[in-house]
Amino acid sequence: MSDFFEIFNPGLRHTREQLDLEKMLVVEADKGGSGPKPLDLDSGSVVLRMPAGAYPEPMQTPQAPEPDDKDWTFVLERPCPECGYLAANVDAHDLPALVRAAAAPWAEVLSGPDASVRPAPQVWSPLEYGCHVRDVLRIFTVRNQLIRTEDNPVFPNWDQDATALDERYWEQDPDTVTAELTAAGEANAAAWVDVAESEWERPGTRSNGSEFTLDTLGRYMLHDLVHHLHDVGVQPRVA
């Protein structure tokens, strides 16, 4: 019938030929089809069924590491058995230089091709450790200021495991984290530069009841920075 109408309206023939040229082929593997089927462009609607795996799955929330309930304040009195850090070997007056030295390697760590790859399902990737170190630097900069400006403050609780999930550490951009960690390191180092001698013994208390002075707070913080370099396979060049 269409050929009959095309005799009186040659434009219809041209339209049909164009549609024929534009037809696409798809494989309906999910229906057990034996081969490609032409799309019926004359019907007014087309349903495309993509084969399984055509699109990557959205990134799933990875397994959370085992909760770390260890009281790491022991490093103020004895060496860490994992990274070897001993706070007693650190002079708090050296914190500005030591913080910068501990922050410096992260630019190289986070530029590596496997920065976002976990070595094991429940072990953070270097990227996740970098996010954590950035946040440690920020948190302890605030605690430094709290001790110096308030009388025996109680530090707000910080759940590092919840933060890692809420902030989706594993999805963050390594270049952005590098820039943020570098800035946080500089801000933290600067917080220890102008400490007056009378301020080193000012007290502050963690939400779990652990008591610190500004001196022990800084040396305790440095362990966190050194330990996480150890976690990503970097030999710390500080304390």
pLDDT in the model for residue 225: 97
pLDDT tens-digit map of 219-239: 999 999 999 999 999 987 655
Q: Which of 134, 133, 155 is nearest to 144 (CA)?
A: 155
pLDDT tens-digit map of 160-173: 999 999 999 999 99
Q: What does 139-202 look like in DSSP terms, one character per residue? A: HHHHHHHHHHHSSSPBPPP--HHHHHHHTTGGGS-HHHHHHHHHHHHHHHHHHTTT--GGGTT-
What is the chain's percent helix, strand, coil content, to nearest 5?
Answer: 50, 5, 45
pLDDT in the model for residue 153: 98
CA angle at 100 for the pair 207 and 134, rounded to the nearest 5°:
45
pLDDT in the model for residue 221: 98
Dist CA 170 CA 129 (whole Å): 9
Which H/E stretch holds residue 203? strand 203-205
Q: Going by C-beta distance under 8 Å and a sequence separation of 6 or more, which residues neighbour residue 157?
A: 207, 208
Distances (CA, A) of 232 to 92, 120, 198: 25, 12, 37
Supply the CATH classification number for the domain 72-231.
Answer: 1.20.120.450
State CA 212 to chain mean position distance.
29
Q: What is the dihedral of CA 23, 25, 31, 33, to 10 degrees?
A: 120
CATH 1.20.120.450 in the chain, residues? 72-231
Which H/E stretch holds residue 225? helix 214-231
Q: Which of 52, 46, 183 is nearest to 106 (CA)?
A: 183
Classify 130 as helix, strand or coil. helix
| pLDDT above 50 (res 96) | yes
pLDDT in the model for residue 4: 44
Dist CA 73 CA 87 (whole Å): 10
For the chain, give the mean pLDDT.
84
Classify residue 120 by its DSSP letter. B
Please list, residue by residue across 36-62, b when 16 or more beta carbons sit within 10 angstroms of its beta carbon and e when fewer do: eeebeeeeeeeeeeeeeeeeeeeeeeb
Q: Which has the minimum average pLDDT: 67-76, 111-120, 187-196?
A: 67-76
User: Which amino acid does the sequence have at 11?
Assistant: G
